[in-house]
Structure 1
Amino acid sequence: MTHNPPPVPPKFPPLDQWPILTGPDCPGCQTDAPGDVVWIGTANDLDTGDKVHLWTCRACCTDFTTPVTHWPINDGPDCPYCLTSVTCWATFAPNYLGDLWNCEHWHEFVLTPEGVIVLPKDAA
């Protein structure tokens, strides 16, 4: 009899939904250590019905969700520092419930769902 081991579940959502090689920071313990935050799968949000990604943190056992977003976004915001239009989505920013963006000059800023830009100096 041939042994067929079960398939290994993916570590991250599909590439068009999660284009980076690390999971989001845990909102419970703020860890960003590789391998601590693990993708479980997708589900529907109970309140809105929207698709979300389910994550769990191995460090503190917190379960949390992030919205399902399809990337790449070709019309990202201009950099508030140098005003370049060459920006790239970096990751979700759970502390601000928004997205962290980088520009070609490595400036970082957060864009909230309401369209508000939060600079790191303003976050302190």
Structure 2
Amino acid sequence: MTLPAGPPRLPAADQWPVLTGPDCPECEGPDDVTWQGAATGLDYGGAPVHLWECGGCCAEWAIPAHHWPVLDGPDCPSCLTDVTSWATLAPDVPGDLWTCHNGHEFVLTPEGLTVLPEDTA
């Protein structure tokens, strides 16, 4: 006999290609963040969103649901590798936070500009 599986801890892989949830925007803690499910975001013009909740501070927030190019991300501007993964929405600069397999992080803005961590300091 097998027990039924619990609710998924992350959205579908084509919409959330990393193995961990986002950092909490309130307490910045990544450890106890759980995905609450999909919804329609009124703040996002009725677009689909993913709802998240922090178990540490109980903050709730939404992130727009997108289909991210898991295998076809932008090249890393630091080491020029083409092996990059979408991580989350960037917390400090409007855009998407990407990481490369060498551990570099960078933001790609909606205008297509690359912002490095040292550029935001």
Cα deviation, 1:59-111, whole Å, max 9, x if unaligned, reads: 11110011111133454323222444x04124112333422223354332111
Contact conserved, 2:71 with 2:83, CA < 8 A, in 1? no
Provide Cα deviations, 1:30-70, integer angstroms capped at 9, x if missing partner: 1122xx11100111111411100000111111100111111
**Alignment correspondent of 2:63:** 66
Paired with 1:104 and 1:7, the residues of 2 have a C-alpha distance of: 31
Shift of 1:18: 1.0
In the TM superposition, structure 1's runs of 4+ consecutive aligned residues that sit over 6 Å from their partners are none
- RMSD, aligned CA: 2.3
Q: Which runs of 5+ in 1 are unaligned?
A: none
Task: Tell me what 1:13 maps to.
Answer: 11
What TM-score results when the alignment is normalised by the length of structure 2? 0.81
Highest Rg: 1 or 2? 1
Unmatched 5+ residue regions in structure 2? none
Aligned pairs, number: 118
Q: Call closer, same or farther: CA 1:75–1:21 in 2, change over 3 Å.
A: closer
Q: In structure 2, what residue type is equivalent to 1:13?
A: P
Task: Please tell me the residue identity of whatever aligns with 2:34.
Answer: V
**Contact kept? 1:89, 1:99, Cα under 8 Å:** no
- The alpha carbon displacement at 1:122 in A equals 1.3
The equivalent of 2:118 in structure 1 is: 121
- For the 8 Å contact 2:33–2:55, the answer to whether it is kept is yes
